[in-house]
Amino acid sequence: MNEKDLNSFMTSWATSKTAQLFNSKMNTLIEMTSQYIAMPVWFKGDWNPDQVFMVWDLNVIDPATYVAEFASFTSKVEQKRKIAGSYGVGFSIIG
């Protein structure tokens, strides 16, 4: 997905009667703690079968160095242990 696709989706969601009904029903069942859209900048594995995600929100001063170090670290861990599911780094673009 690119920015043009995201903008098209957001516009269609905001104008959809079905989406508005969905939001009104969901808002009676949930308490929103955060909302954002992120773009994966580095990942490993297929996240389609994953059912649970653990997310850390960090303020990173040097994103390029962080991603390089994360990739190096997780590669070393994976050599010692099997990591279940997918993992990676996403960059928040909205929210």
pLDDT tens-digit series, residues 49-95: 877 777 788 888 998 999 999 999 988 888 888 777 788 888 887 76
CA atoms within 13 A on the CB side of 26: 7
How far apart (Å, rounded) are the C-alpha atoms in residues 49 and 86? Answer: 9
Question: What's the pLDDT score for residue 1?
Answer: 58
Residue ranges of domains in the chain: 1-30, 34-95
Is-above-0.85 flag for pTM? no
How far apart (Å, rounded) are the C-alpha atoms in residues 3 and 23? Answer: 23
Question: What's the pLDDT score for residue 78?
Answer: 84
